[in-house]
């Protein structure tokens, strides 16, 4: 124990920056929750697992998937003295992703500035009738939305985890063998990538570990192995288009969001700037078969601004719509996309993946140090409980927003009308950039509620009138 305590996160030099206040906040919240919560699982009388505080060997953990979630989990585990194995199938691959992260992620995860490709300070939302709401007006001078390339971010986080002591095993996890009893380890079967690039066949290998963190994304194999249940997914489809310099300058610090049935029946379409090209894409959950038409729709809507561009890549990826029914099963915890932590309405997943990975890692470390064992109950209370407490409200709210404002053209028009309002913009930025549910002034909130209702009413009335016109045109 003495050997491992010196590398405890609170004492480690590297993590002076990782605010000790946030860690102490964790402990304070933990104590508060122990007193007040009623939703916790009762403490179990579990048989101690393989590694305990009395045994000489440290806890062994396998993290399947080396994206932001996996890398953060490995880092947190390694810093806590856990022997961590990070299995990643393509360490140099790039993922189809918008690439936007909230501002707080830069400070919370100590990301250096050179990772950021662009600092977006202007966001534009366009309604079906092309009404514009310019979102940049209420940004403070030091606020922006960092845009980066996933391959750059992922490899940085992975390298940092390796420096903290994690063992990176390039390879594809093929199956997970569940333990026969509480004292048996999990067996991870994976195909290790060949060390020399010439050879074709991978090397089948196994790994025996005490705890598994499943961070392998939307098609998680770990989730399937532990029967965590499925979830509804949306599909995000995007084309990377290289524009001529004149057109690219328009998007230098501008990101656009388009709403309308022509671009997506239940989500939004986007034009996001990347390092030297733009990503033009759309997403949908209910019209996946029609995705090509929707992509055509967004290209038409962006119209003259992307004309003359050259498509350099086409990519698509499933996005989970809600969490899996079981996010912790036995001593396996799911984090990131594998767990389903993607917000609705904005489709944001990078920050929540990294944060959940870190929270899970820290929960494992804490329960191992305090009790000498890690059980399902520990994982649920320490990791899931805290996660739900902190972010469930935000996820619920965004789900409500998506249902109200993305469901119909009337809702979308009302959304853009409201987005033009300064107070709405300020609240949005507070919540998005700093991941805090902004509270604001109660008087202004009342005013906002009133304006929301009246915007929705007006847009609905126009919608009904349009329907009426259509019906009279059809009848006659």
Partner 1 sequence: MAGSLASDEEGFVRTEGERTALLGQSAVDGDLAIVFAGALHLPEPIQKMQHYGIGGPYCTVTVVLSGTLKLLKLISEAYNLGLLPDNQISLLFVFLSIPSPITMSMVFLSPPPPPTTLSSLPIRTHLCLRSQLAIFPKKLPSLLLARSTENGAGEVISSATVLEEEVEQKSEENKEGTPPAAAAVETQVEDEQKPNLESNGAVLKAEEKSLKAEEKAVLPKFKDPRWIGGTWDLTQFLKDGKTDWDAVLDAEVRRRKWLEDNPEASSNEEPVILDTSIIPWWTWVKRFHLPEAEVLNGRAAMIGFFMAYFVDSLTGVGLVDQMGNFFCKTLLFVAVAGVLLIRKTEDINTLKKLLEETTFYDKQWQATWLEDKSSNDTKGKE
DSSP labels, 180-249 = SSTTSPEEEEEEEPPSSTT----EEEEEEESEEEE---TT-HHHHHTT-----EEEEEEEEEEPPHHHHH
Which residue carries 């009623």 as its tokens?
38
The verdict on 455 binding partner 1 (CB under 8 A) reads yes
Residues 5-64 that bind partner 1 (CB under 8 A): 39, 41-42, 44
Give the integer Cα–Cα distance in Å for 360 and 328: 10
Answer yes or no: are the C-beta atoms of 295 and 281 closer than 8 Å. Answer: yes
Measured from the CB of residue 150, what is the shortest distance to partner 1 in angstroms?
A: 26
- The region of 56-64, 127-135, 215-223, 436-444 touching partner 1 under the rule CB under 8 A is 127-135
Nearer to partner 1, 127 or 238 (CB): 127
Give the integer Cα–Cα distance in Å for 454 and 460: 10
Residues 332-391 that bind partner 1 (CB under 8 A): 340, 344, 380, 384, 388
Measured from the CB of residue 243, what is the shortest distance to partner 1 in angstroms?
A: 14
* Consecutive H or E run containing 397: helix 386-405
Measured from the CB of residue 301, what is the shortest distance to partner 1 in angstroms?
A: 6
Answer yes or no: are the C-beta atoms of 375 and 363 closer than 8 Å. Answer: no
Answer yes or no: are the C-beta atoms of 89 and 122 closer than 8 Å. Answer: no
Beta carbons within 10 angstroms of residue 89's beta carbon:
17
Give the integer Cα–Cα distance in Å for 420 and 182: 57
Q: What residues contact residue 204 under an 8 Å CB cut-off, 6+ apart?
A: 174, 189, 190, 191, 192
Measured from the CB of residue 378, what is the shortest distance to partner 1 in angstroms?
A: 13
Binding to partner 1 by CB under 8 A, coded x per residue (else -) over 202-241, reads: ------------------------xx-x-x----------
Nearer to partner 1, 154 or 256 (CB): 256
Alpha-carbon separation of residue 192 from 175, 222, 332, 417 (angstroms): 13, 17, 21, 53
Phi and psi for 52 in degrees, rounded to 5?
A: -130, 175
With 0-12 / 13-18 / 19 or more C-beta atoms within 10 angstroms meaning exposed / middle / buried, residue 194 is middle
With 0-12 / 13-18 / 19 or more C-beta atoms within 10 angstroms meaning exposed / middle / buried, residue 113 is exposed
Number of residues that bind partner 1 (CB under 8 A): 70
- The region of 11-19, 96-104, 114-122, 125-133 touching partner 1 under the rule CB under 8 A is 125-133
Nearer to partner 1, 149 or 189 (CB): 189
Measured from the CB of residue 400, what is the shortest distance to partner 1 in angstroms?
A: 8
HSE at residue 183, side-chain half, CA atoms within 13 A, is 3
The verdict on 328 binding partner 1 (CB under 8 A) reads yes
Nearer to partner 1, 262 or 362 (CB): 262
Residues 264-323 that bind partner 1 (CB under 8 A): 297, 300-305, 322-323
Give the integer Cα–Cα distance in Å for 332 and 222: 8
The verdict on 469 binding partner 1 (CB under 8 A) reads yes
Measured from the CB of residue 307, what is the shortest distance to partner 1 in angstroms?
A: 9
Here the tokens at position 74 are 């490995």
Here the tokens at position 393 are 């409200």
**Number of residues that this document lists for the chain:** 476
Nearer to partner 1, 11 or 444 (CB): 444
Q: What residues contact residue 465 under an 8 Å CB cut-off, 6+ apart?
A: none
Contact residue for partner 1 among 261, 428, 431, 445 (CB under 8 A): 261
Binding to partner 1 by CB under 8 A, coded x per residue (else -) over 435-454, reads: -------------------x
Nearer to partner 1, 154 or 413 (CB): 413
Measured from the CB of residue 261, what is the shortest distance to partner 1 in angstroms?
A: 7
Binding to partner 1 by CB under 8 A, coded x per residue (else -) over 175-204, reads: ---x---x----------------------
Measured from the CB of residue 433, what is the shortest distance to partner 1 in angstroms?
A: 24
Nearer to partner 1, 274 or 344 (CB): 344
Give the integer Cα–Cα distance in Å for 129 and 433: 28
Binding site for partner 1 (CB under 8 A): 39, 41-42, 44, 126-132, 178, 182, 226-227, 229, 231, 250, 258, 260-263, 297, 300-305, 322-330, 340, 344, 380, 384, 388, 392, 395-396, 399-400, 403, 409, 413, 417, 420, 454-455, 457-459, 461-462, 464-466, 468-470, 472-473, 476
């Amino acid at each position: 124990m003495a050997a491992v305590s010196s590398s405890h996160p609170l004492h480690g030099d590297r993590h002076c920056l990782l605010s000790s206040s946030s860690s102490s906040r964790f402990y304070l919240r933990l104590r508060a929750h122990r007193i007040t919560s009623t939703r916790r699982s009762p403490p179990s009388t579990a048989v101690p697992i393989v590694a305990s505080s009395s045994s000489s060997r440290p806890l062994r953990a396998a993290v399947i998937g080396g994206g932001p979630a996996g890398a953060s989990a490995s880092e947190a585990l390694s810093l806590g003295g856990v022997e961590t194995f990070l299995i990643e199938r393509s360490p140099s691959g790039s993922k189809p992703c918008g690439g936007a992260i909230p501002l707080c992620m830069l400070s919370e995860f100590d990301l250096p500035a050179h990772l950021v490709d662009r600092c977006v300070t202007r966001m534009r939302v366009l309604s079906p009738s092309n009404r514009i709401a310019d979102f940049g007006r209420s940004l403070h001078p030091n606020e922006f939305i960092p845009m980066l390339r996933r391959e750059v971010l992922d490899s940085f986080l992975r390298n940092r985890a390796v420096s903290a002591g994690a063992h990176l095993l390039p390879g594809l996890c093929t199956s997970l063998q569940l333990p026969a009893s509480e004292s048996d380890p999990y067996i991870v079967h994976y195909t290790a990538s060949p060390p020399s690039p010439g050879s074709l066949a991978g090397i089948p290998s196994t790994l025996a570990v005490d705890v598994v963190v499943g961070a392998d994304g939307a098609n998680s194999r770990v989730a399937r192995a532990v029967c965590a249940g499925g979830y509804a997914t949306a599909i995000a489809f995007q084309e990377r288009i290289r524009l001529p310099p004149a057109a690219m300058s328009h998007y230098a610090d501008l990101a656009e969001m388009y709403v309308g049935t022509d671009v997506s029946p239940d989500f939004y379409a986007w034009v996001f700037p990347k390092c030297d090209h733009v990503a033009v894409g759309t997403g949908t959950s209910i019209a996946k078969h029609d995705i090509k038409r929707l992509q055509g729709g967004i290209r038409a809507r962006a119209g003259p601004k992307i004309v003359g561009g050259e498509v350099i890549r086409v990519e698509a990826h499933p996005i989970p719509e809600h969490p899996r029914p079981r996010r912790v099963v036995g001593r396996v915890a799911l984090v990131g996309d594998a767990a389903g932590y993607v917000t609705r309405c904005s489709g944001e997943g990078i920050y929540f993946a990294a944060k959940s990975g870190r929270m899970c890692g820290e929960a494992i470390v804490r329960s191992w140090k305090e009790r000498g064992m890690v059980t399902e109950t520990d994982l649920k209370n320490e990791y899931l409980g805290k996660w739900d407490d902190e972010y469930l409200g935000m996820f619920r709210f965004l789900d409500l927003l998506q249902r109200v404002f993305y469901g119909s053209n009337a809702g979308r028009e009302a959304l853009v009308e409201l987005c033009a309002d300064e107070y709405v913009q300020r609240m949005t930025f507070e919540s998005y950039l700093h991941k805090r549910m902004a509270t604001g002034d109660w008087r202004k909130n009342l005013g906002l509620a009133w304006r929301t209702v009246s915007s929705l009413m007006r847009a609905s009335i126009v919608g009904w009138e349009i329907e009426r016109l259509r019906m009279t045109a059809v009848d006659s």
